Chain A
Amino acid sequence: MAKRRADVGTLYRGSPGQWSWLAHRVTGVAIILFLFVHVVDTAVVGWGPEAYERVSSVYHNWFVLLLELGLVAAVLFHALNGLKIMVFDFWPSTVRHMRPISAATTLVFVLAMVPIVWIMGGSVLEKLGWL
C-alpha cells in the first residue's frame, strides 16, 4: 500500500457530529488527566489529615475553582454525548434524526450549565473579591 502523504490542507467542515466527536475526545482526555491528579490528592490522606488539608487547599484557589467549573462542564458534556451515541448505536433508525437529537443534547447541556455557572462562577468571583 502506498504511503499516505501527510498534507495539511484546509479544515474539513464536516457535520455537527464531527465536532461533538472531537469535543468528546478532548473532554475524555481532560477528565482522565484530572482523575490522575485526584487519585494523588486523595492518597495524600494516608499521611494524615494535615497533609491532606494542605494539599486540598490548592482547590480553594480562584483559578483552580475555574478549572473545576470546566471539569463539571467536561463531565456533563461527555456524559450527555455518550448517551446520545448509545441511542444511535442501539436504535439505528434514530440516526435519521441526528440534528434534532444533537440540538436537544446541546439544549440539555446549556440548561444544566446555567445553575452550575451561577453557583460555581459565584465562588470564583468571591475568591477574586469581585462579589
Chain B
Amino acid sequence: MATDVGDVLETSDRRRAGASGKVTLTLRIRRYNPELRGEESWWDEFTIQADPNDRLLDALHEVKWHHDGTLALRRSCAHGICGSDAVMVNGRNRLACKVLVRDIAPKATVEPIRGLPVLKDLIVDMEPFFEGYRSVLPYLINDEGEPDRERLQSPEERQRYDDTTKCILCACCTTSCPIFWGDEGYVGPAAIVQAHRFIFDSRDRGARERLQILADKTGVFRCRTTFNCTDACPRGIEVTKAIQEVKREILLDRF
C-alpha cells in the first residue's frame, strides 16, 4: 500500500499535538488605542482553538487574522532571535514566540511590557530603552591603531564575556525591573549587559569610559538585585550576575 508523504506528515503532526488535537485557549489581552478610545486602556477576551504545540505568537496571530484585525502587536522573525515580540504573559515578561500554548492554556493574560510608553495595544515605544543602550557605548573602542591582522583573543578571554553576547535587545529584562519602572533615568539591565559584553572584552580599550558612565546615579548602582531580569531573559543570560560583575569592576577601579 502506497502511503502519501502528506499523510505521513499529517499523522506525525497529529501525534505531536497529542490525542486531543486542539485545545481551547482564552486570551485576555490588554488593549490601548488613543485614537479610538482615548487614554483609557481596556481588556478584551478572545477564545480560540489552538494546537497545544503552537506558540503564543500563533495564538495572537489567530486573534488578529480571524477575530479582531485591529489588534496591534510587533513581531518579526517569530523564532526567538529578533527580540521584537516581548510581552507580559501571566505577569511575567516572555517572548510570545517562545511560549507554548500547552503551557498557558486554558487561560492567559497578555499585556504590553511595562515601563515604556504604550503606543497601541501590545506595541510600546522602545526609544527610551535604546537611549539607555546607546549611552553605554555598545561598540568596540580601540585607539591603538589598525592591526596588521585580526585582534587575537584566547578562548578563555572570549569565554569571559560569552554569556552577555547572547543579548537580543528584546527589553524583557529592562521592563521587568521595578527600578526601571520607577526611574526614567536608569539605563536598565539590558544596557548593562551590553556594556559588560565590551568591558570584559580583551580587545576593547573603552572599559574605563563605560565604567564611568555606569558609576553615575543613573547607572549600575540603581540595581537592587531583584533578579526579575534574570528570570525574564529569554536567552538565559545571567543578567543579575553580569550587573554585579560590573558593580564590582567599578569598585575595584576606584582603588
Given the interface contacts A1-B127, A3-B117, does A98 sit within 8 Å of B111 by beta carbon? no
Which of B92, B116, B127, B241 sits near A96, CB closer than 8 Å? B241
Which of A4, A18, A93 sits near B178, CB closer than 8 Å? A18
Name the CB-closest residue of A to B91: A13
The verdict on B226 contacting chain A, using a C-beta distance below 8 Å, is yes
Q: In the bound complex, what is the Cα–Cα distance between A17 and B241 (angstroms)?
A: 13
Q: How large is the interface on A (under 10, 10 to 19, 20 to 34, 35 or more residues)?
A: 20 to 34
Considering the complex, which residues of chain A in the window 31-88 have a beta carbon less than 8 Å from any beta carbon of chain B?
Answer: 85, 88
B225 adjacent to A85 (CB under 8 Å) = yes
Given the interface contacts A85-B225, A98-B240, does A1 sit within 8 Å of B230 by beta carbon? no
Q: In the bound complex, what is the Cα–Cα distance between A3 and B39 (angstroms)?
A: 13
Chain A hits for B230, CB < 8 A:
15, 95, 98
Q: How many A-B residue pairs have CB under 8 A?
A: 92
A15 adjacent to B227 (CB under 8 Å) = yes
The verdict on B90 contacting chain A, using a C-beta distance below 8 Å, is yes
Q: In the bound complex, what is the Cα–Cα distance between A53 and B91 (angstroms)?
A: 52
Q: In the bound complex, what is the Cα–Cα distance between A18 and B88 (angstroms)?
A: 16
Q: In the bound complex, what is the Cα–Cα distance between A16 and B240 (angstroms)?
A: 13
A88 adjacent to B244 (CB under 8 Å) = yes
A12 adjacent to B128 (CB under 8 Å) = no
A12 adjacent to B184 (CB under 8 Å) = no
Q: In the bound complex, what is the Cα–Cα distance between A15 and B209 (angstroms)?
A: 32
Given the interface contacts A10-B91, A13-B91, does A18 sit within 8 Å of B227 by beta carbon? yes
Q: Per-residue CB proximity of A1-22 to B under 8 Å, as 1/0?
A: 1111101011111111110011
A95 adjacent to B91 (CB under 8 Å) = no
A12 adjacent to B114 (CB under 8 Å) = yes
Which of B109, B231, B241 sits near A95, CB closer than 8 Å? B241
Given the interface contacts A10-B111, A95-B244, does A2 sit within 8 Å of B91 by beta carbon? no
The verdict on A126 contacting chain B, using a C-beta distance below 8 Å, is no
Considering the complex, which residues of chain B in the window 217-233 have a beta carbon less than 8 Å from any beta carbon of chain A?
Answer: 224-228, 230-231
Q: In the bound complex, what is the Cα–Cα distance between A16 and B226 (angstroms)?
A: 8
Given the interface contacts A13-B90, A14-B176, A15-B226, does A5 sit within 8 Å of B117 by beta carbon? yes
Given the interface contacts A1-B127, A15-B227, A96-B241, does A89 sit within 8 Å of B247 by beta carbon? yes
B248 adjacent to A7 (CB under 8 Å) = no
Q: Closest approach, in angstroms, between the C-beta of A25 and any C-beta of chain B?
A: 9
The verdict on A115 contacting chain B, using a C-beta distance below 8 Å, is no
A14 adjacent to B228 (CB under 8 Å) = yes
The verdict on B125 contacting chain A, using a C-beta distance below 8 Å, is yes
The verdict on A90 contacting chain B, using a C-beta distance below 8 Å, is yes
The verdict on B83 contacting chain A, using a C-beta distance below 8 Å, is no
Q: In the bound complex, what is the Cα–Cα distance between A17 and B176 (angstroms)?
A: 12
Chain B hits for A13, CB < 8 A:
90-92
The verdict on A100 contacting chain B, using a C-beta distance below 8 Å, is no
Q: Closest approach, in angstroms, between the C-beta of A37 and any C-beta of chain B?
A: 27
Chain B hits for A3, CB < 8 A:
117
Q: Closest approach, in angstroms, between the C-beta of A18 and any C-beta of chain B?
A: 4
B225 adjacent to A17 (CB under 8 Å) = yes
A93 adjacent to B241 (CB under 8 Å) = yes
The verdict on A92 contacting chain B, using a C-beta distance below 8 Å, is yes
Which of A4, A18, A92 sits near B116, CB closer than 8 Å? A4
- Which 6 pairs of residues, A with B, have the shortest CB-CB distance? A17-B227, A13-B91, A92-B244, A15-B227, A14-B228, A15-B231
- Sampled A-B contacts (5; CB under 8 Å): A14-B92, A17-B227, A21-B224, A21-B226, A92-B248
